[in-house]
Amino acid sequence: MQSLTIQPARAIRGEITVPGDKSISHRAIMFGSIAQGITTVRGFLRGEDNFATLNAFRAMGIGIEDDGEMLRIKGMGLHGLDEPEDVLDCGNSGTSMRLITGLLAGQRFFSVLTGDRYLRKRPMARVIEPLSEMGGCIFGRAGGDKAPLAIVGKELTGATYSSRVASAQVKSAILLAGLYASGETEVREPHLSRDHSERMLRHFGAVVETFDGGVRMQGGRELEGRDIIVPGDISSAAFFLVAATIVPGSELLIRGVGVNPTRTGIIDILIAMGADIELLDLRQASGEPVADLLVRSARLKGIEIGGDLVPRAIDEFPIICVAASLAEGRTVIRDARELRVKETDRIAAMAANLRKGGVQIVETEDGMEITGRETLLGSVAESFGDHRIAMSMLVAGLVADGESEVRDVECISTSFPDFSGLLAKVMLV
């Protein structure tokens, strides 16, 4: 088990680019593999989660060349995948498992998906239930809720499904199955979750209709290979936005970050807390908005966070907890029950870690209340096998009153292999 130590920083300064967006990188492989013809992908995230997806499609016979700069996917059309000879291993990646389950439900073959010990604990009924309503035949442990999952490909029929959770993984799994289903597929969700699948489907030539509260699509139509440029991941940029905000005397430019409005909750939350963040040179790449983000340090104040802001910042709560720990007054997070079923229980994990840093935290069922302080105490934090907990606690270490340590940091390579290298580049000690 590897640990990292981190020293307090004098400032965060300079200019960086962050690695490609994880959600968009997964989708580029998936849609490229089942489209007709060549898809190229630039800016692909070279993290373990995305390689799990890439390897799964290679195992189903898709040719994917990688010259280190660009991927070249030889799409074989909707029915061009081969039955995998072995179990497909999704590693730590919930997106791989849930989306690929949707895609495999409508194939003419049998397949099995598994993952690491963390992923095998995460709920899968949320995708199996709607896919079963479409005619899917999927078995899993724990009464059909946990991986390994066995998928017997079936002919699917389009359905209308109202999801109880605002989840892009659930929505995307249903849309992927919907590509294979007869008739129309419609998904409704309580709040709008990230819409990368809808945007990318359109980019690949699909007719996707979005309306207030949901999305609908016709099945049975082939996609066409396309060129994709993956923007920088705002979820990775988030660690640097908070670092440069909380370390006094900082100024950082983060170039080429995806600013899809379904993902920019972190910017809205930090600005509401008093942060100084500017969006510069707003542009488009492959149907996604992109900008450079300029951030300068600022004194934060506590706020209340809930409702539709939650899915727009769903992966950023660990680092929001760090920002709240340094804010003046109390931050209240509610409507965020989903955090309990992420890579780990992120409410419990951040509460345990930040308490060691001297922060006063009250855990609630669907969130937490955090009372900020001037500095944190240097401490030893645990990642709980969760990349975003590990990176958040390293950022917390920048404003501690001495050295801090984060244990079990290998997980960082699922989404941001060079995180500490990049941090070292902009950190003045």
Q: List contacts with ligand S3P (CB under 6 A).
A: 23, 95, 167-169, 172, 193-194, 314-315, 338
Least Cβ distance, residue 14 to ligand S3P (angstroms): 27
| The amino acid at 314 | I
Which is nearer to ligand S3P, 233 or 292 (by Cβ)?
Answer: 233
Q: Which is nearer to ligand S3P, 216 or 346 (CB)?
A: 346
Min. distance of Cβ 360 from ligand S3P in angstroms?
A: 27
Q: Which residues are catalytic?
A: 315
Q: How far apart are CA 236 and CA 414, in angstroms?
A: 12
* E-strand stretches of 102-259: 110-114, 137-140, 146-152, 160-162, 184-188, 208-211, 214-218, 227-229, 251-258
Give CA angle at 14 (11, 20), nearest 5°: 115
Token look-up 């699909």 returns 206
**Cα separation of 268 and 271, whole Å?**
5
Min separation Cβ 304 and ligand S3P, Å: 21
Q: Which DSSP category does 409 fall into?
A: -
Task: Give CA angle at 211 (312, 194), nearest 5°.
Answer: 20
Whose Cβ is closer to ligand S3P: residue 172's or residue 353's?
A: 172
Q: Residue 304 gets which letter from DSSP?
A: E
Distance between CA atoms of residues 60 and 348, nearest Å: 38
Phi/psi at 77 (nearest 5 deg)? 85, 170
Of 314, 317, 236, 309, whose CA–CA distance to 272 is shortest? Answer: 309
Work out how close the CB of 115 gets to ligand S3P at its nearest, in angstroms, rounded to a whole number: 14
Closest CB to ligand S3P among 97 and 253?
A: 97
* 41 vs 253 by CB, closer to ligand S3P: 41
N- to C-terminal Cα separation, the chain: 26
Phi-psi group of 287: left, alpha or beta (phi > 0 → left; psi -120 to 50 → alpha; rest → beta): left
Give the nearer residue to ligand S3P in terms of CB position, either 154 or 199: 199
CA–CA gap between residue 261 and residue 189 (Å, rounded)? 17
- The least distance separating ligand S3P from the CB of residue 357, rounded to whole angstroms, comes to 25
- Cα 233 to chain centroid distance, Å, stands at 9
Question: Min. distance of Cβ 51 from ligand S3P in angstroms?
Answer: 15
| Minimum CB–partner distance for residue 72 and ligand S3P (Å) | 23
Q: Select 379 or 414, whichever has its Cβ closest to ligand S3P.
A: 414
* DSSP helix/strand/coil, 9: coil
Query: Which residues, 6+ apart, have CB-to-CB distance to 28 below 8 Å?
Result: 39, 41, 44, 71, 73, 200, 228, 230
